[in-house]
């Protein structure tokens, strides 16, 4: 029951992000020569209390230092993440929240911790291992990747489609 409450709370946080409006968070930017990806992503958690989120994104940096901006289909900023080895921060409008790690943040917002280091490798077309995760990179050259976590439960499906 507690797990269900945490997922509902995470989903509520995500819905709050979507309803937060179009305020642009102010923050320092990662290096201008850092890798950058833009496109759409979706995360589906397929457990007892299924949840799903989808957003446009702009990702800059790497697993240690980076930024991720999330957008609605209309281009409204839903929220922004910024991380360094010392800090993980999420901003939606004027509200900021700090987290101990990207895994904690992704778990609270999607219901499952996402394998951040592996995702950066997958975005570069490199196969990387993450416990319980399997990635299909056969369409990576066309800007698509699909990753699935089968263990531990619940099953999680991550889809990313990059813009050319």
Task: Supply the mean pLDDT for the chain.
Answer: 84
Strands 36-45 and 88-92: unpaired
The CATH T-level fold of domain 2-22+36-162 is: outer membrane lipoprotein receptor (LolB), chain A (2.50.20)
pLDDT above 60: residue 61? yes
> pTM of the prediction?
0.79
Closest residue by Cα to residue 111 from 8, 24, 27, 20: 8
pLDDT class of 31 with cuts at 50, 70, 90: low
Give me the residue spans of the domains in the chain.
Answer: 2-22+36-162
In the chain, where does DSSP find H-type helix?
Answer: 2-18, 102-110, 116-123
């Amino acid at each position: 029951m507690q797990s269900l409450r945490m997922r509902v709370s995470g989903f509520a946080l995500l819905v709050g992000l979507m309803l937060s409006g179009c305020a642009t968070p102010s923050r320092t930017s990662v290096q201008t020569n850092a890798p950058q990806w833009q496109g759409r992503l979706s995360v589906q958690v397929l457990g007892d209390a299924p949840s799903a989120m989808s957003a446009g994104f702009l990702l800059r940096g790497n697993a240690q230092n980076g930024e991720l901006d999330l957008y609605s289909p209309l281009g409204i900023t839903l929220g922004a993440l910024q991380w360094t080895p010392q800090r993980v921060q999420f901003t939606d409008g004027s509200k900021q929240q700090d987290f101990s790690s990207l895994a904690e943040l992704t778990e609270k917002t999607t219901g499952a911790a996402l394998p951040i280091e592996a995702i950066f490798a997958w975005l570069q077309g490199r196969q990387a291992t993450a416990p319980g995760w399997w990635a299909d990179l056969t369409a990576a050259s066309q800007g698509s990747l699909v990753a699935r976590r089968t263990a531990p439960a619940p099953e999680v499906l991550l889809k990313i489609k990059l813009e050319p």
